[in-house]
Amino acid sequence: MANAKLRHKIPKRFSRKSEVAKAKERLNATYLIAMISTNKGETVSIVLDGEEVEVPTGINLVDAAALFKKEIPHYCYHPQLSVAGNCRMCLIEMGTPMRDRGTGEPVLNDDGTQKIGWVPKPVIGCATTVSPGMHVKTISEKVTDCREGIMEFLLVNHPLDCPICDQAGECRLQEFATDYGRGYSRYVERKNVKPKRTRLGPRVTLDDERCILCSRCIRFSQEVAKDDVLGFVDRGSYSTLSCFPGRELENNYSLNTVDICPVGALTSTDFRFKMRVWFLKELPSICAESSAGCNIMVSSREGEIHRITPRRNDNVNDSWMTDSGRLLYKQVRSDNRLLTPQVKQSESALDVAISSAFESFNGKKLAIVGSCHSTLEELYLLNHLSKATKAKKYLRGHFGEDDGILLSADRSPNLRGTLLSGFTNEYPKEDLSKLNDDLKKGVVDAVLVVNEDLLDSGVEGESLLGVPVTYLGTHQNTTSNLAEIVIPTLTSFEKKGTFINRSFIAQGFASTVPSPGGLLPLTQIICRLLSLSDEESKITADFSLIWKNLSSPPKSPFKGMTFTDALRGPLQIDGSKWNNLSFVEKKALHFEPQSSALSSK
């Protein structure tokens, strides 16, 4: 009786709604948008906590309840992994309409309504698929008792590490202990001690005494990364997460196990003890590592990026990203970052550097070397600059091994943007040998290069003797060292723009951290060069006008689209015009090569 009285003194989620809880519910509802879209028009009627609602066919009760802002707490369930059902936190009451076993006719109550046969014991919501007429109780005395009991068992051997735990502030165990736990402990025995600060791999550290054995990391390694390396050893309360003998968690997707760990057991070695998450400002962006175009969340404090995590997009990257893509933020403050304009190896004002760049190629046979790392808008303006200066255009591709998941063979984020912007109609080679030949022949006698290293791309140093080179880029390389004019530009974290990924999906992004003082976006630099080349030029760096111009041709693939649309959500672009090109990517997550797609038809 004392316990029952104490229980009523503990606030519950269904009796109080904090702002955090409301935000979480909104997130849960948004979380299912892509899943619902695959079942358009196919719904079933269920009764959820006494209210009749329509839900998509084939989803489970955890997801169905989230659509109506009702949280069924869970640990082991993840919408993009197989169902394990081992945490038991999502227990609910469930019943279905009864029918006579002999005749198949509905069994009716005295009032004429169909009788509901309630399952005697609670069932797990993650493994229960909705069916017509199903009745579900997510809030009841029995459900409350189940949740309190599960939380008590989970916390029996869990250490009180919250003050020093990296997961503090975004820990489901903390949240559910507050919202669904008893609020007090009856455990007086000594807790089990498990391995701490265990190296699972080069990027993941395990504090095993925090592990609640949800098995998310094991299933991810098996089903997504295709690297079956993790497992549980020993039994009962002595169960421990471990790598297989002689193996390590070292695949390029290992940090996704940290993202999906609901507690503080798996931690990022790089981020460990670096920053409290409630100090971080999180903004969405797009990964620039390859043409996969992973959606990411950039976490920063006072203008400094501390980590990058994946952002869910069921049409592009699900909830995953590569470990190597997470490290790109370190380029922002790297030692070889270009921060000051230079003219003839001397520091200069930006306006002077831009004017000097124009003077260096004005009246000459200019070569413009574009970059597949530039945004759609930058490439559009660069194409206009080539027309204004009657320059020849060159482009280099960057290619590597395709892992068949989210690291594509095209190691640039916007090769398809070079096609759609009009900068090129040809698939680029992995070098600039054509530019080298043209320099030798005297076809061009001035070069403006954007973020490419000429000497690393097959251009001989002798070919550049006496040729004025203007370099627009983010980091030092051999080309910036020999260039007559160097104009620093911004990384993808410091600017806005659009990348078009391997599936011809246009994804807009905004800046996530402030740019270094005194630097301008590449779009504005190109517009200044355009105004010097053509005083009557009406081309501006206004993104709304750029997209208006991109969508204005009658057969434009951008018809009716705006940059705001690209920021709000992915835009599917018609890329059939380039079906004849041999793109290097192979079949991967949410990507089917065009040649394979055509042959299947």
Higher pLDDT, 438 or 597: 438
pLDDT above 90 coverage of the chain, percent: 83
Q: How confident is the model at residue 40 (pLDDT cuts 50, 70, 90)?
A: low
Q: Are residues 149 and 197 in the same domain?
A: no
Residue % of the chain over a pLDDT of 70? 92
Cα separation, 489 vs 341, in Å, equals 10
**Same domain membership, residue 118 and residue 207:** no
Kindly state the average pLDDT of the residues 296-315.
97
The H or E element spanning position 310 is: strand 304-310
Locate the DSSP E strands across 162-236.
198-199, 204-206, 230-233
Chain-centroid distance of CA 333 in Å reads 22
Q: Chain-centre distance of CA 136, in angstroms?
A: 34
- Domain count for the chain: 3
Tell me, yes or no, whether 184 lies in a domain: no
Q: Which of 399, 341, 394, 402 is nearest to 371 (CA)?
A: 394
Same domain for 490 and 573? Answer: yes
Mean pLDDT over 78-92 rounds to 95
CA–CA separation, 68 and 48 (whole Å): 9
Residue range 3-28, pLDDT digits in tens: 444 333 334 443 334 444 444 444 44
| pLDDT for residue 595 | 62
The three-point CA angle 407-268-212 to 5° equals 110
Q: Sorting pLDDT into bands at 50, 70 and 90, what band is 139? A: very high
CATH number, position 247: 3.30.70.20
How far from chain centre, in Å, is Cα 189?
A: 43
Has residue 285 been placed in a domain?
Answer: no
- Among the three residues 131, 157, 183, which one is the final residue of a domain in this structure? 157
Asked if 396 and 423 count as a contact pair (C-beta separation under 8 A), the reply is no
Q: Report CA dihedral (521, 522, 523, 528) to the nearest 10 degrees.
A: 100
CB contact burial 511-525 (16+ within 10 A = b; e otherwise): bbbebbeebbbbbeb
The domain of 265 spans 192-274
Task: List phi, psi (to 5°) of 46.
Answer: -130, 165
Domain membership flag for residue 492: yes
Q: How confident is the model at residue 269 (pLDDT cuts 50, 70, 90)?
A: very high
For residue 31, pLDDT over 50 is answered with no
Domain boundary at 106, 137, 157, which? 157
Residues 227 and 141 in one domain: no
- Rounded CA separation 590/317 (Å): 7
Closest CA to 44 of 23, 62, 26, 58: 58
Cα(558)–Cα(374) distance, rounded to whole angstroms?
18
Residue 54: which of 67, 45, 64 has the closest Cα? 45
Residues 544 and 423 in one domain: yes
Angle between helices 376-389 and 522-533 (to 10 degrees): 20
Q: Residues 565, 422: one domain?
A: yes
Kindly tell me the burial class for residue 52, based on how many C-beta atoms sit within 10 Å of its own C-beta (0-12, 13-18, 19 or more).
exposed
476 and 376 inside one domain = yes
Q: How many Å apart are CA 61 and CA 96, to the nearest integer? A: 13
The residue written with tokens 């246009």 in the block is 506
> Could you give the CA distance from residue 222 to residue 526 in angstroms, rounded to a whole number?
48
Domain limit, last residue, from 274, 289, 321: 274
Residues 6 or more apart in contact with residue 99 via CB below 8 angstroms:
105, 106, 107
pLDDT for residue 569 is more than 50: yes
102 lies in a domain? Answer: yes
Q: Which of 382, 385, 379 is nearest to 419 (CA)?
A: 379
| DSSP string across 585-597 | --SBTTB--HHHH
Query: Is 48 in a helix, a strand, or coil?
Result: strand
pLDDT tens digits, one per residue of 504-558: 999 999 999 999 999 999 999 999 999 999 888 888 999 999 999 999 999 999 9
Q: What is the pLDDT of residue 41?
A: 65
Asked whether the beta carbons of 292 and 406 are under 8 A apart, the reply is yes
If asked whether residues 378 and 479 sit together in one domain, one would say yes
- CATH number reported for the structural domain that contains residue 400 in this entry: 3.40.50
pLDDT in tens, 100-132: 888 888 888 888 888 999 999 999 999 999 999
Output the average pLDDT for the chain.
91
Residue 399 · residue 410 · CB < 8 Å: yes
Q: Which residue has the higher pLDDT, 198 or 31?
A: 198
Closest CA to 516 of 377, 300, 332: 332
In degrees and rounded to multiples of 5, residue 580 shows phi and psi of -80, -10
Predicted pLDDT of residue 109: 85
Report the interhelical angle of 522-533 vs 350-361 (nearest 10°). 50
Whether residues 421 and 495 fall in one domain: yes
pLDDT-derived band at 48, boundaries 50, 70, 90: very high
What are the pLDDT digits (tens) for 418-475? 999 999 999 999 999 999 999 999 999 999 999 999 999 999 999 999 999 999 999 9
**Phi-psi sector, 75: left (phi>0), alpha (psi -120 to 50), beta:** alpha
Same domain, 424 and 568: yes
Structure token digits, residue 503 = 């599936």
Answer whether residue 213 is part of any domain: yes
Nearest-angstrom CA–CA distance, 380 and 544: 13
pLDDT at 328 over 50: yes
Residue 22 falls inside a structural domain: yes
- Judgement on whether residues 500 and 375 belong to the same structural domain of the protein: yes
Residue 518: CB partners within 8 Å, gap ≥ 6? 339, 340, 350
**In this structure, are residues 215 and 240 in contact, taking their beta carbons and an 8 Å threshold?**
no
State the Cα–Cα distance between residues 292 and 416, nearest whole angstrom: 11
Contact status, residue 382 vs residue 371, Cβ threshold 8 Å: no
Q: What is the dihedral of CA 211, 407, 305, 32, to 10 degrees?
A: -60
Mean pLDDT of the region 348-372: 96
Q: In terms of C-beta distances under 8 Å and separation of at least 24 residues, what long-range contacts does 450-453 make, across chains too?
A: 450/368, 450/369, 450/370, 450/371, 450/374, 450/378, 450/382, 450/489, 450/522, 451/371, 451/373, 451/374, 451/489, 452/369, 452/371, 452/396, 452/479, 453/477, 453/478, 453/479
Q: Is residue 491 part of a domain?
A: yes
Q: Which of 180, 200, 199, 187 is nearest to 158 (CA)?
A: 187
Determine contact, residues 471/340, Cβ cutoff 8 Å.
no
Token readout for 578 is 């380039």
The residues with which 231 forms a beta bridge, in sequence order, are: 242
What does DSSP say about strands 43-48 and 135-137: parallel, antiparallel, or unpaired? parallel
Residue 294 falls inside a structural domain: no
How far, in Å, CA of 183 to CA of 221, rounded?
Answer: 35
Do 108 and 44 reside in the same domain of the chain? yes
Tens digits of residue pLDDT in 140-166? 999 999 999 999 999 998 988 889 999
pTM exceeds 0.85 for this model? yes
